Structure 1
């Protein structure tokens, strides 16, 4: 994983979680907020934590935001400030901008401003919660579109000891196996696009691609 510099602007619950996770992944992080307490709380975790007015482009430049590879703007509650900060960060030439939105209109405006990605934390958490109710054994879930997703589940007992060819996932279940994760000598290995003669083992974690309605039926496979 290559190391990059991230500027996280807005250190509420979402921003702080993003900043601390990035640091745990070995990335350099500048944490910025106008609230002194938030800056103090995150200060020990980030590379730099500063109390600034992020709507001031001079303050952003002095904080080093212009050198960032990615800016994460987590000022969802104050929409006016969120939009202004996005414009300032764009003017500083940051190549990738991720912005938190709190309403669909807010999100559409952010998109028109040219941000790389708009995030709706509450909506995405609600969607993940709903999916976990439909597929309780799902270990992870990636949405590709409104119709298709990738879900990670522990291999169903019915498939253990069988080859991918004999299971006929696509023909019988409308699913495509993208990868297999398994423990080998105490280490996790990932087999991407495994061959048809690959045998599934007990404890394997399989990543399955398919329509959401087909993925929801995984629980019925025993």
Structure 2
């Protein structure tokens, strides 16, 4: 059964979400106050409408409370973002994801009931920085201020050892949740799994622990 999404705000972030969801076959309602942006996504989204999301009557008329998930991707207008989120919450929308401009904005969104808060610029900056710092880091996804999921390339030091021999969980407090090997993905690998050089390890844990593990095994 297709899920129904509404994306409010069709800037680079909202537009990217709209296109990706549509490409995945989801039903997407695209909303923006700017008619030019709406026209740009008219052939991308299932429906694209010009509307002021700060007007409760507009959102009601669109049946917004019936959507499975609403994404508030409004750009620089923090007031519009907060008021839109508040209206969505009062209308009974079950899942609301909101783009935050800064930490203060995020705190307000959290207090008024946003289910998910994202910091796309900050998170992308951290991902790029982490990728630049280490040759072994392929990707980085922040889970909280102190925990992340990281893709690490297995070095020669790891190669030939099983997970139980490396004893990663006990020594470093992190978990390898999957291994990418060529085109295969090994999910929840067994303790007997032998690491091969070039494997991509998908690691979850505290940043400090991941850094300790990486520093130990990063060099060849």
TM-score by length of 2: 0.87
* Preserved contact between residue 135 and residue 216 of structure 1 (Cα < 8 Å): no
Matched, 1:193 2:196: no
Alignment match, 1:163: 162
SS in structure 1 at match of 2:165: helix
Contiguous gaps of at least 5 residues in structure 2: none
Aligned residues between the structures: 217
The DSSP-based 3-state class of the residue aligned with 1:207 is strand
Q: Which residue of 2 aligns with 1:83?
A: 82
Structure 1 residues not aligned, in runs of 5+: none
Name the structure 2 match of 1:210: 205
Equivalent residue number for residue 5 of structure 1: 4
- The question of 1:123 aligning with 2:122 is answered yes
* Structure-1-length-normalised TM-score: 0.86
Distance of aligned partners of 1:203 and 1:3 in 2 relative to their CA distance in 1, 3 Å threshold = farther
Q: Which moved more, 1:45-54 or 1:132-141?
A: 132-141
Report the CA distance shift for 1:44/1:157 in structure 2 as closer, same or farther (over 3 A). Answer: farther
Q: Report the Cα distance in structure 1 between the residues aligned to 2:3 and 2:100, rounded to whole angstroms.
A: 24
Q: Post-superposition shift, 1:173?
A: 5.1
